[in-house]
Amino acid sequence: MSVTTLTVGRLFIGGEWTDAADGGRMDVIAPSTGEKIADVARAGVADVDAAVAAARRAFDEGPWPRLSSRERARVLQRAYALMRERAEELAQLESLDVGKPITFARVVDVNNAAELYEYYAALGHRLDGEVREITAAAHAYIRPEPLGVVAAITPFNFPLILSSTKIAPALAAGNTVVHKPASDTPLSALLMAEILRDAGVPEGVFNVVTGPGSTLGDHLVGHPDVDKVAFTGSTEVGAHAAGLAGRSLTPFTAELGGNAANILFADADLDRAVHTIISAFVFNAGQFCMAGPRLLVERSLYGVVLGILKDAVPQVPFGDIADPATVIGPLASRTQLDKVSALVERARAAGARVVTGGHAVEHDGGFFYAPTVIADVAPDAEVVVDEVFGPVLTVQPFDTEDEAVALANGTPFGLASGIQTADLARAHRVAARLRAGITWINGWAVLDPSVPFGGVKASGWGREGGPEALQSYQKAHSIVFDLGGTA
Ligand code: NAD
């Protein structure tokens, strides 16, 4: 199946497939081979204007915000059903575009994305307002209303899931959307445009502009007709975009970088913990904002765990993304591969010990990097403090619970965290002290549409998932009747 048969590669604006106003195109490269698999429209600011105008019209004049929430929910439920019907197509596209092993594209990306539509369809069935008791002389009720035009900006690593975390609740609440996927991985967004149209999303309610963030991003974020920006991406770009949104006081949710600590106490079930530790840093080739790239090990286990990882990590199935057994695929771009390679080289030069991996791997011309474990690193080493975003694990020993907590909290980020221990009291005690949006105990990356995730500190603010995300696409409108009597 060729990718070009799966997507028309044009912009989706106002319910129509259109070319970029200046006719621009850009190549889409398969990370597993380094070869071009498709090309898509390269939108410019005129196309952003057209998409925002279509979304504005659909919000101000179209049926979508005026439908009952139940009617909208039915459309989202149909989108869920169509995603299930076209699951294999979505999985193949996501796998090729991002370089994901096919099993993960099927089981994680497509499943989770579809379930987000199912979940917000269910929540959308009951977007009830509230009556508030005030005084006998007045009557108040609170209407949850949509915000308007939502700009949904997503990164390269989980295009389908991270667009769904925004689009499903935004649509359920009655907003209209302009979606800008990452320029390296735009394909599933175009297939979703088709699916949402076929599910019955009216024209102009969902629009997709593909193109580089450097030219489109500022224009979209600062656009006077955008009422909310939902951004997922790096801390650097997120901070810049938040500043821009701040100038026009546009509500902004920021899901930014991560650098989670995984704390292993000596009392943990070691077999289970090792499995968790490895999957937490190799999943999606480490390009996972909630990966666990920093292992903190109680000192009595330090040498033992390094020995186990040295033997076990090279055994993780690596390579061909079409093979259902493959766990680790390539990095998503040449840029990402170069960035990870350079970071590990600098760590080595600074005296860190590479226990296994530590090099790129030639495989079919793709952007592969061997899963890597690094020991003997200082807590303030660049490879520990910065977000590496590759299959790289640093390992540091600790002596006390306090020290483990200090190391875990010792980077600018605060997205995810994990604790591996058999001591339940300790698990709860330590979890409460971790500065992170989510903490997994005796596992990793257990995610569900109903469980909110998001960051603190440099990992951003706002939550995706759960009713919390739905509320972030609504505003409370209080309507108060003066009943004319005496209080
Ligand atoms: P990025 O910040 O480079 O790009 C993210 C998106 O922003 C892309 O669509 C990009 O085109 C766009 N963009 C670029 N310049 C812009 C501008 N000036 N204004 C507005 N948008 C602009 O991030 P990336 O490299 O694609 O993704 C990796 C990063 O995303 C990592 O830091 C990772 O941790 C983070 N991430 C966070 C979460 C989360 O939920 N917190 C999830 C996934 C990824």
CA–CA dist 161, 159 (Å, integer): 6
- The β-bridge partners of 27 are 39
Q: Pick the residue whose CA is nearest to atom 15 on ligand 1.
A: 213
The closest of 279, 259, 286 to 411, measured between CA atoms, is: 259
Residue whose token pair is 């058999």: 422
pLDDT exceeds 60 at position 258 = yes
Q: Which SS3 state, helix, strand or coil, does residue 419 take?
A: strand
Q: Are 187 and 7 in contact (CB under 8 A)?
A: yes
CA–CA dist 190, 179 (Å, integer): 10
Predicted confidence band at 221 (pLDDT cuts at 50, 70, 90)? very high
Q: CA–CA distance from 20 to each of 14, 50, 219, 364 (Å)?
A: 14, 10, 15, 33
CA–CA dist 370, 341 (Å, integer): 10
Token pair in block for residue 390: 């590759």
* pLDDT number for residue 133: 83
| Ligand 1 centroid from CA 334, angstroms | 17
| Ligand 1 centroid from CA 272, angstroms | 33
Q: Which of 48, 109, 226, 232 to mutate to test the pocket of ligand 1 (most atoms within 8 A of CB)?
A: 232
Domain 261-441: give its CATH architecture: 3-Layer(aba) Sandwich (3.40)
Q: Which atom of ligand 1 is nearest to the CA of 153?
A: 9
* pLDDT number for residue 408: 98
Q: Are 28 and 40 in contact (CB under 8 A)?
A: yes
User: What percentage of the chain has pLDDT greater than the value 90?
Assistant: 94
| Ligand 1 centroid from CA 235, angstroms | 8
Q: Which SS3 state, helix, strand or coil, does residue 149 take?
A: strand
Q: Which atom of ligand 1 is nearest to the CA of 214?
A: 15
Under DSSP, the state recorded for 465 is: S
- The predicted-structure confidence for 293-350, as pLDDT tens digits, reads as follows 999 999 999 999 999 999 999 999 999 999 999 999 999 999 999 999 999 999 999 9
| Ligand 1 centroid from CA 234, angstroms | 4
DSSP 346-411: HHHHTT-EEEE--SEE-STT--EE--EEEES--TT-HHHHS---SSEEEEEEESSHHHHHHHHT-S
Task: Please list, in sequence order, all residues whose beta carbon lies within 8 angstroms of the beta carbon of residue 94, skipping any fewer than 6 positions away.
Answer: 100, 105, 109, 110, 159, 160, 187, 188
Query: What's the whole-model pTM score?
Result: 0.96
* pLDDT number for residue 486: 58
463 burial via Cβ count (<10 Å: 0-12, 13-18, 19+): buried
Q: Which residues line ligand 1 (CB under 6 A)?
A: 153-158, 162, 180, 182-183, 213-214, 217-218, 221, 232-234, 237, 240-241, 255-258, 289, 387, 389, 415, 455, 459-460
Q: Pick the residue whose CA is nearest to atom 37 on ligand 1.
A: 256
Q: Which of 237, 415, 472 to mutate to test the pocket of ligand 1 (most atoms within 8 A of CB)?
A: 237
- The predicted-structure confidence for 46-59, as pLDDT tens digits, reads as follows 999 999 999 999 99
Q: Give the pairing type, strands 294-298 and 392-398.
A: parallel
| Ligand 1 centroid from CA 232, angstroms | 5
Predicted confidence band at 4 (pLDDT cuts at 50, 70, 90)? very low
Element (H, E) at 143: strand 138-146
- The predicted-structure confidence for 104-127, as pLDDT tens digits, reads as follows 999 999 999 999 999 999 999 889
The closest of 148, 166, 172 to 70, measured between CA atoms, is: 172
Q: Which atom of ligand 1 is nearest to the CA of 237?
A: 2
Q: Please provide the average confidence, as pLDDT, over all residues in the chain.
A: 96
| Ligand 1 centroid from CA 131, angstroms | 40
Q: Which atom of ligand 1 is nearest to the CA of 240?
A: 18
CA–CA dist 164, 108 (Å, integer): 13
* pLDDT number for residue 128: 87
Q: Pick the residue whose CA is nearest to atom 13 on ligand 1.
A: 213
CA–CA dist 34, 60 (Å, integer): 44
Q: Are 103 and 320 in contact (CB under 8 A)?
A: no
CA–CA dist 283, 418 (Å, integer): 15
Q: Which atom of ligand 1 is nearest to the CA of 241?
A: 19
Neighbours of 462 (CB within 10 A): 19
- The predicted-structure confidence for 363-382, as pLDDT tens digits, reads as follows 999 999 999 999 999 999 99
Q: Which SS3 state, helix, strand or coil, does residue 425 take?
A: helix
For the chain, the structural domain boundaries read 3-256+455-477, 261-441
Q: Which of 234, 451, 453 to mutate to test the pocket of ligand 1 (most atoms within 8 A of CB)?
A: 234
Domain 3-256+455-477: give its CATH architecture: 3-Layer(aba) Sandwich (3.40)
Q: Which of 100, 157, 385 to mutate to test the pocket of ligand 1 (most atoms within 8 A of CB)?
A: 157
Residue 12 φ then ψ, to 5°:
-120, 105
CA–CA dist 160, 72 (Å, integer): 21
Over range 425-436, report the average pLDDT: 98
| Ligand 1 centroid from CA 154, angstroms | 6
* pLDDT number for residue 341: 98
Element (H, E) at 430: helix 424-433
Q: Pick the residue whose CA is nearest to atom 17 on ligand 1.
A: 217
| Ligand 1 centroid from CA 477, angstroms | 32
Q: Pick the residue whose CA is nearest to atom 9 on ligand 1.
A: 182
Q: Give the pairing type, strands 25-29 and 36-41.
A: antiparallel
Over range 245-259, report the average pLDDT: 97
CA–CA dist 391, 466 (Å, integer): 29
CA angle, 162 then 319 then 274, to 5°: 75
Residue whose token pair is 């590990």: 344
Q: Which of 289, 337, 387, 392 to mutate to test the pocket of ligand 1 (most atoms within 8 A of CB)?
A: 289
Q: Which atom of ligand 1 is nearest to the CA of 181?
A: 9
The closest of 205, 284, 235 to 385, measured between CA atoms, is: 235
CA–CA dist 59, 62 (Å, integer): 6
Q: Which atom of ligand 1 is nearest to the CA of 258?
A: 34
In 19-99, where does DSSP find H-type helix? 45-60, 69-85, 87-98
Over range 234-246, report the average pLDDT: 97
pLDDT exceeds 90 at position 477 = yes
The closest of 314, 323, 322 to 370, measured between CA atoms, is: 314
CA–CA dist 230, 251 (Å, integer): 8
Predicted confidence band at 255 (pLDDT cuts at 50, 70, 90)? very high
Q: Pick the residue whose CA is nearest to atom 19 on ligand 1.
A: 217
| Ligand 1 centroid from CA 18, angstroms | 25
Neighbours of 93 (CB within 10 A): 27
- Residues with a catalytic annotation lie at 166, 255, 289, 464
* pLDDT number for residue 223: 98
Element (H, E) at 440: strand 438-441
User: What percentage of the chain has pLDDT greater than the value 70?
Assistant: 98
